[in-house]
A and B are shown apart, each in its own frame.
Chain A
Amino acid sequence: DGGITQSPKYLFRKEGQNVTLSCEQNLNHDAMYWYRQDPGQGLRLIYYSQIVNDFQKGDIAEGYSVSREKKESFPLTVTSAQKNPTAFYLCASSSLKMGASPLHFGNGTRLTVT
């Protein structure tokens, strides 16, 4: 059954610690994305990648880092430099073709930093 897996579902960290969120897809999609969602808000793009070993900053990349060593995996690290890291993080993927390809989302990781 194809899809996107995000783990863990809930994550708790102390302030000042880096934390890495996992995202794996078996849809054979070229593009992968990380979004952040705050309560009552829409989704804001953090980073995206359209090919292995390449990625671009989205609207709110400061305090985050990513890697794309494999097509299936796009982990997100929330660093201690991120001022307000507590949020719901969503990973998505899509194929790339002329026109548009819908985004497929995982079920998110809720990060709480205290």
Chain B
Amino acid sequence: LAKTTQPISMDSYEGQEVNITCSHNNIATNDYITWYQQFPSQGPRFIIQGYKTKVTNEVASLFIPADRKSSTLSLPRVSLSDTAVYYCLVGVQSLTGANNLFFGTGTRLTVIP
């Protein structure tokens, strides 16, 4: 089971770039890396997913080194509305029925005016 380790909390000023790193030393060959954002009293929301190298979408970038034992979520120019908990999830649904999707405790990002 690929468990993850993230910093418990981070603070950033508005307008800055924020990088949140997740360690997953025992990631399996078939595992994908997915990041979610959660606001209080809401369900997590998908941000970005990758398998290797770099992935970019309209809200974030995901950097994955060659050994895949860690990954970094990059949020460009954060605003107050980016204050949330960010979860790194490593795993994959198996068509044979196994499920190894494991959520850690996440990183609480606070954006300061």
A residues near B, CB below 8 A? 4, 31, 33, 35, 40-45, 48, 50, 56, 58, 88, 90-92, 94, 96, 98-108, 110
Q: How big is chain B's contact interface, by range?
A: 20 to 34
CA distance A94 to B91 in the complex (A): 13
Question: Nearest residue in B to A92 (C-beta to C-beta)?
Answer: B43
A-B contact count (CB 8 A): 66
**28 cross-chain CB contacts under 8 A:** A31-B93, A33-B99, A40-B105, A41-B105, A42-B87, A42-B103, A45-B102, A50-B97, A88-B41, A90-B43, A90-B44, A91-B43, A94-B93, A96-B93, A99-B30, A99-B32, A99-B51, A99-B92, A100-B49, A100-B91, A103-B34, A104-B46, A106-B43, A107-B41, A107-B42, A107-B43, A108-B42, A108-B43
Considering the chains assembled together, what is the distance between the CA atoms of A104 and B44 in angstroms?
A: 8
Does B45 make an interface contact (CB < 8 A)?
yes
B binding-site residues for A, Cβ under 8 Å: 30-32, 34, 36, 41-46, 49, 51, 87, 91-93, 95, 97, 99, 101-106
Chain A binding surface SS class: strand
A112 to chain B, nearest CB (A): 13
B87 and A100 contact, CB distance less than 8 A: no
State whether B43 touches A48 (Cβ < 8 A): no
Chain B minimum-CB-distance residue to A4: B43
Which chain A residue shows the least CB distance to B6?
A42
Contacting residues, chain B, for A31 (C-beta < 8 A): 93
With a CB–CB cut-off of 8 A, which chain B residues contact A33? 99, 101
B43 touches A100 (CB 8 A): no
B32 nearest CB across to chain A (Å)? 4
Q: Closest A-chain residue to B91, C-beta based?
A: A100
A-B CB proximity, top 4 nearest:
A105-B43, A100-B32, A43-B103, A102-B46
